[in-house]
């Protein structure tokens, strides 16, 4: 293997994390982002191998990734319009130390809440907002990447900011406070402690679930402290009927969360918390097995529910 090839491989490996960071935020899908990054890296590799003069491999890769992601978003819109129930992004698990998004504003842009908010934007608006406000590319470079004039890009950015500003999530800045509150919340879920849950929830808390028609899930979001606590309590009782469950705290898209597994280790769901003003402001749960396969083996929820319904007592409620 020649030295030039080794240098090229090193460049590609160094650029991969930033390319994935852009692609995932654009698409909200780990699998789709990985496909886009792989294709973009292959194009860059071929260009370098062919001796093509590329002044900035970083800019070249950002351009290819963004344009491929825009094309993917356009085709994904029709699929998402047919999606059964509420759509949530595929959860991305990482410790804060492993997350390449080191700064608070970049970490916030990784949250499920923010990614859902981006769904209201056109693909071009989404690209411009992320490149300019999250990854800090100058307008001139953003214009080159998306293939538009600089005035047009500035206009797209203004419209995108106007759309997301009102709904932009506000997170606790203290990591210690987030972890303490999350620990108390998940302990209360495991115990089925409704009173303990209610004391941790904001009055206007929201509970979201994504089953995608592939797994039992909420038909629509649940709102309000008492209703959310009751729903979580019912889920814990149902999960206990499956033979128990394990709950492992993890960082989900830069925010506190948990991976929940059945007794055989199958993934039941991944939960992410939105913590605002010292309370749980939102709980988002991904149950769709297609969105969990990159993490591990999904549980067979239908089989678990059949076993539970065969036992004594009330039939299990829907998973959240």
Res 4: pLDDT: 45
pLDDT of residue 173: 60
Mean predicted confidence (pLDDT) in 255-260: 94
* Tokens read off for 25: 């935020």
Q: Is the dihedral of CA 242, 243, 244, 245 positive or negative?
A: negative
Q: Residue 33: its pLDDT value, please?
A: 96
What is the predicted pLDDT for the residue at 130? 97
Paired strand residues for 284: 208, 272
| Of 146, 97, 87, 92, the residue nearest 118 (C-alpha) | 87
Phi, psi of 47 (to 5 degrees): -65, -45
pLDDT at 6: 62
Mean pLDDT confidence for 135-152: 96
pLDDT digits (tens, 9 = 90+) for 262-293: 989 999 999 999 998 889 999 999 999 999 99
Are 274 and 111 in contact, with CB atoms under 8 Å apart?
yes
Average pLDDT, the chain: 87
pLDDT tens figures, 93-105: 974 445 444 455 5
pLDDT at 318: 44
pLDDT of residue 48: 87
Query: Torsions phi, psi of 317, nearest 5?
Result: -80, -175
Q: Domains in the chain and their CATH numbers?
A: 3-165 (1.20.140.160), 175-310 (3.10.450.50)
- Tens of pLDDT along 240-256? 777 788 999 999 998 99
The SS3 call for residue 260 is strand
Mean pLDDT across the stretch 117-129? 95
Confidence of residue 3 (pLDDT cuts 50, 70, 90): very low
Q: For the chain, how are helix, strand and coil distributed in percent, rounded to 5?
A: 55, 15, 30
Give the other-Cβ count within 10 Å of 42's Cβ.
12
pLDDT of residue 105: 54
How far apart (Å, rounded) are the C-alpha atoms in residues 90 and 24? Answer: 9
The pLDDT of residue 104 is 54
């Amino acid at each position: 293997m020649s030295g030039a090839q080794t240098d090229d491989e090193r460049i590609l490996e160094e650029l991969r994390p930033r390319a994935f960071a852009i692609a995932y935020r654009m698409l909200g899908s780990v699998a789709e982002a990985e496909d886009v990054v792989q294709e973009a890296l292959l194009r860059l590799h071929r260009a370098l191998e062919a001796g093509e003069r590329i002044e900035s491999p970083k800019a070249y890769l950002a351009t290819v990734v963004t344009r491929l992601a825009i094309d993917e978003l356009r085709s994904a819109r029709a699929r998402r319009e047919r999606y059964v129930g509420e759509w949530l992004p595929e959860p991305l698990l990482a410790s804060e130390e492993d997350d390449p998004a080191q700064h608070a504003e970049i970490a916030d842009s990784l949250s499920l809440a923010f990614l859902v908010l981006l769904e209201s934007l056109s693909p071009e608006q989404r690209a411009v907002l992320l490149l300019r406000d999250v990854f800090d590319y100058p307008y001139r470079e953003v214009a080159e990447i998306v293939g538009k004039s600089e005035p047009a890009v500035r206009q797209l950015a203004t419209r995108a900011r106007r759309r997301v500003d009102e709904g932009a999530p506000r997170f606790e800045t203290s990591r210690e406070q987030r972890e303490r509150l999350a620990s108390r919340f998940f302990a209360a879920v495991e115990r089925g402690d409704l009173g303990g849950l209610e004391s941790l929830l904001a009055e206007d808390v929201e509970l979201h679930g994504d089953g995608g028609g592939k797994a039992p899930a909420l038909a629509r979001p649940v709102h309000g402290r008492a209703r959310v606590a009751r729903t979580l309590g019912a889920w814990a009782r149902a999960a206990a009927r499956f033979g128990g469950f394990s709950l492992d705290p993890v960082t989900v898209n830069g925010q506190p969360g948990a991976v929940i597994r059945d007794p055989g280790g199958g993934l039941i769901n991944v939960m992410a918390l939105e913590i605002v003003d010292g309370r749980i402001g939102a709980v988002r749960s991904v149950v769709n097995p297609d969105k969990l396969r990159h993490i591990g083996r999904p549980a067979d929820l239908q089989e678990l529910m059949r076993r539970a319904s065969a036992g004594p007592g009330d039939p299990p409620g829907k998973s959240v």
